[in-house]
Every structure is written in structure tokens, then in C-alpha cells.
Amino acid sequence: MKSRSDNMSGGKWSRRDFLRSSASAGLGIALTGRTLSGAAMLPGQEEDQNLPDLNVAVIGAGQQGRILIESCLRIPGIRMKAVCDIWAYSQRYASRYLKKYGHEVNVYEDYRELLSKEKDLDAAIVATPDWMHATQTNACLEAGLHVYCEKEMSNSLSKARSMVQTARKTGKLLQIGHQRRSNPRYLHAIDRLVLDKKILGRVSQIYAQWNRAKMDMYGWPKQYTMDQNKLAKYGYASMTHFRNWRWFKKFAGGPIVDLGSHQIDIFSWVLGITPSTVVALGGKDYYKNREWYDNVMVIYEFNTPEGKARAMYQVQTTTKNGGFYETFMGDMGALQISEVPQRGDWAMREAHAPEWDSLVKEGLLKSEKPPLQKLDTQNIFLDVRVTAEAGRWPLPIDLAKPAHQPHLENFFNAIVHGIPLNCPAEVGYETAVAVLRVNDAVEARRLLSFRPEQFEV
Ligand SMILES: NC(=O)c1ccc[n+]([C@@H]2O[C@H](COP(=O)([O-])OP(=O)(O)OC[C@H]3O[C@@H](n4cnc5c(N)ncnc54)[C@H](O)[C@@H]3O)[C@@H](O)[C@H]2O)c1
């Protein structure tokens, strides 16, 4: 178990320190930049800002790469210069999309060729399958670029460690794509309400889940089938492996890593500490021809300064019941939050806790919603103080942008203005340690401990 603040990139200045001081200095945290001449704007893009242009390449233009490209197009000052992808389908889709919005890009198959030819890049976005992250991120950092690398940092801890080391050695920025860390709703709920105002009191229980409906393996347009030589050159045994890399051990960590890491990352943000032990059960119980566990249930223990806290997490891939959300429970209240506000966007106050009226007056919470269901206390013998459903105070912040945009803005702002990254390599590494250990615990079928030094590089 290790306190999070011990291991922050740069050591001395945490993001929360920065936000406090920058707020008092009147420096906004939204990206400031200037609109590029010739580039069309998407809805939500802001004008009249003055960020110097940043030249950016994307390595891996699949589903997530394209989502990140779309967010970049909304950020003034970002000039997309190059796209690298081994698959013609992704190359074509991304380059055409960018052209439509005024960004003519050079297209590459091999990231090494991109790095040797593109000499005026400032940053790279790495959104390839997890197993390639370390090789490509390290090469970009060594080439003098700042890197935004998607989660999971890597499917191998030694490779993830090498990324932290390369970022430190080169002095370049490395942001890991746990985008909730830049989401204004999460920042408000966790930094402001839970950590500063302590509205939940002592947090000792966490529950989170990502339940996803049954899905078939991905296919591909047959005219874009890669031949066996090319697949082998890039490490894939077949098109099925290439398209469904998430399910195979060589390339990824399975659903607990793919989905769970976003939420498990937040446990340590709230508790301010990394876990001390983990126990988990899971299995390959439903799908055939996939290597990773299709369902996992986990319990982490954290030795917080206030005592033990436990976090229960489950990932399911055969039911979408309940969707995905995180619930933090303390002796004064609970917070349920999700990247999708419909699944969680409120705090609940315990009856004995101090009133939250002042928080509502300050605009930190919206007014209490009345209990969902009123009990008929005339006709039933029940103690309503115990059984009536508690009121819910909705969070007052909406995210009026795509979910990944604030995290990219934080990255670009860090490059230009030197503000701290919200998810530097060290934090991404701590999360990778906590999450990848779940698979070890499933395999071992027993409680596993973490040593504090395991979270350090
Ligand atoms: N932050 C999030 O919410 C989020 C969501 C989804 C995916 N992701 C992450 O984004 C990454 C990509 O996921 P995806 O869903 O887009 O996968 P995908 O399979 O749709 O896309 C991967 C792309 O990388 C390309 N590629 C594979 N090997 C390559 C190589 N050696 N060099 C260059 N290109 C290569 C593929 O051709 C494909 O276009 C993963 O790390 C994933 O975990 C993050």
C-alpha cells in the first residue's frame, strides 16, 4: 500500500495543488488555443484562443484512434499531420475523415518510417492494441515527442515500467488514457466533494461494475483481409486475432483490464492509496475460442490511514444489467458516478450527517431530489427513518464535450502551459499494477498481497 502523492510525476507538485493555485491566479484549466486557418470546425470547438499550433500524429487509427482524432478536431491549435496504421481500412477511414476537416495527413504503415520522415511533430497519440504501446511510445519519446498513450499502458508490467523510465529519461510528457481523470464531473465529485469537502465522511466501501451484453467476435470487410505474411510481420496469427486482440493473452489483459482499469483506477484516486491485497474469481465460462476470462469478480483491500477500506468490482460480458458505474460509500453518505450520467450522477446523505444546504447554496450540489417513492406510513408499521429511500443530490456539472476531449486538452495544455498531467505515466503504472494482478489472483484462486515497492518505478 502506498500513498498516491508519493509517486506523482515531478514529485513536488500534484494536480490538485496546481488547480488550487491556478484557480486563485485566475488561470482557467480549459485549453486555450487559436483556430487554425483552413481547418473546418466541429460543434463545441472554441474560438478566439491563442495556443500555438501543435503538430500531432496518430499511431493506431482504429475505433479509439478515430474517437481521439474526432476530439482533436474540436481543439483549436491542433494540426493533425500524420496517421500510422498497419491496416488499409483504418488508414483510409482516418485520412479521409481528416481531409474532410481540412487536415491533409501523410499516411504510414510502420511507425518507424513515420518517425524517420516526420520532422516537425510535437506529439503522438498511440491507440494501437495494448501489447504495442510500450514499443511505440518509447520510440516516440526517444524521437523527442510528447505522447498520449491509450490505456492499458501495457499488458506487461516490465514494458509499462520501461515507459515510465523512458518518459523520465527523455523529459517528455506521457499521458495515459484514463480519461475520467480529466472529466469535470469526476474532478468535481472526487476532488471537490469527496476529498476537499469530505461529504462522504470515512469512505470504507466501494462497489463498481462494467456489465456488457453478449457480443460476437468482430469481423471485417473481406476486401480488407490482410494476407498471412503481413499479419505475421506484425505479430498476428490471423485476421480473427488481429480484430479481436482484446481476448488473446499475447495482446491484452482481457475484460478486467480493458473495461475494469478505468474504474479501478479511480478507487486509488478516491482513497489516496494503492491496494494492499486482492482476491478474485473468474472464468472462461461462456465464449469459445477466446483466451481471457469472460467474467471476473474482485475484492481489493486498502489500508487507509483511517482503517481498512474494501472495493468490490465485477466485469461481465454476457449481460448489460446495470451498465457501468462506481459507488463510493462512507459513514456520512454515498456517491454514485458514471461516465454516462444516467447511470450515476448523484450523492446521497446519511440521515445523521450534517445538512448539505450550504453546498447547494455554493453551487457544489443541486437541490435534493425528493425520495423516489413515498411510503404510506398511515397504514403500515414501518420506521420510515430507516426504510424511506434517501434523497439524492444531483451533481451540478455537465460534460458538454465528448468524453475524451478534456483529457486530450489536459495533455496539450501540459505541453504548452506546463500544467500537470492528470494521468502521468506513474499513475498509469500504479493502475496497471493493481489491475493486471487481478488476472494473477484468478489464476491462483487465493488472496494475493501487494508490496508497496511493486507500485514504484
Ligand atoms: N480510453 C478508452 O475509453 C478506450 C476505449 C477503447 C479503446 N481504448 C484503447 O485504445 C487502444 C485501441 O483500441 P481500439 O478499440 O481502437 O482497437 P481497434 O482494434 O479498433 O484499433 C486498433 C488499430 O491499431 C492498428 N494496429 C494494430 N497493430 C498496429 C501496429 N503495430 N502499428 C500500427 N497500427 C497498428 C489496427 O490496424 C487498428 O486500426 C487500446 O489500447 C484500447 O485499450 C481506450
The DSSP-derived string for 39-103 is ----TT---S--PPPEEEEEE--SHHHHHHHHHHHTSTTEEEEEEE-SSHHHHHHHHHHHHHTT-
The CB of 45 under 6 Å from ligand 1? The reply is no
Report the SS3 class of residue 210. Answer: strand
Mutate to test the pocket of ligand 1, among 86, 137, 339 (most ligand atoms within 8 A of CB): 86
Chain centroid to CA 92: 27
CB contact at 8 A, 349 and 356: yes
Mutate to test the pocket of ligand 1, among 93, 150, 247 (most ligand atoms within 8 A of CB): 150
The CB of 239 under 6 Å from ligand 1? The reply is no
Residue 117 cell numbers, joined: 520522415
Q: Which residue carries 479501478 as its cell?
A: 264
Same domain, 172 and 321: no
Gap from CA of 457 to ligand 1 centroid (Å): 26
Q: Which residue carries 474532410 as its cell?
A: 100
pTM greater than 0.85 (yes/no): yes
The predicted structure's pLDDT at residue 16:
45
Mutate to test the pocket of ligand 1, among 59, 63, 242, 265 (most ligand atoms within 8 A of CB): 63
User: What CATH number does residue 254 fall under?
Assistant: 3.30.360.10
Same domain, 265 and 159: no
Cα–Cα dist 58/65, whole Å: 7
The predicted structure's pLDDT at residue 379:
56
Report the SS3 class of residue 17. Answer: helix
The CB of 128 under 6 Å from ligand 1? The reply is yes
The predicted structure's pLDDT at residue 60:
98
Identify the residue whose C-alpha is closest to ligand 1 atom 39: 62
Identify the residue whose C-alpha is closest to ligand 1 atom 25: 60
Same domain, 422 and 444: no
Residue 10 cell numbers, joined: 515531478
The predicted structure's pLDDT at residue 43:
36
Cα–Cα dist 164/153, whole Å: 10
Same domain, 41 and 116: yes
Cα–Cα dist 276/35, whole Å: 48
User: What CATH number does residue 18 fall under?
Assistant: 3.40.50.720
Query: How many domains in the chain?
Result: 2
Gap from CA of 66 to ligand 1 centroid (Å): 9
Same domain, 270 and 236: yes
| End-to-end CA, the chain | 15
Same domain, 155 and 87: yes
Same domain, 104 and 153: yes
Same domain, 55 and 98: yes
Same domain, 154 and 284: no
The CB of 86 under 6 Å from ligand 1? The reply is yes
The predicted structure's pLDDT at residue 377:
55
Domain that holds residue 61: 4-179+403-426
Gap from CA of 62 to ligand 1 centroid (Å): 5
Gap from CA of 407 to ligand 1 centroid (Å): 17
The CB of 90 under 6 Å from ligand 1? The reply is yes
Gap from CA of 60 to ligand 1 centroid (Å): 6
The CB of 260 under 6 Å from ligand 1? The reply is no
The CB of 84 under 6 Å from ligand 1? The reply is yes
Q: Which residue carries 469472460 as its cell?
A: 294
The CB of 130 under 6 Å from ligand 1? The reply is yes
Same domain, 398 and 410: no
Identify the residue whose C-alpha is closest to ligand 1 atom 4: 64
Gap from CA of 174 to ligand 1 centroid (Å): 17
Report the SS3 class of residue 182. Answer: helix
Same domain, 335 and 263: yes
**pLDDT, averaged in runs of 10, over the chain (457 residues):** 41 40 32 28 40 91 98 96 98 98 97 98 98 98 98 97 98 98 97 97 98 97 98 98 98 98 98 98 96 98 97 98 98 97 93 93 87 55 47 90 96 95 98 98 97 95
Q: Residue 135 is inside which H or E element, if any?
A: helix 133-142
The predicted structure's pLDDT at residue 25:
34
Same domain, 344 and 411: no
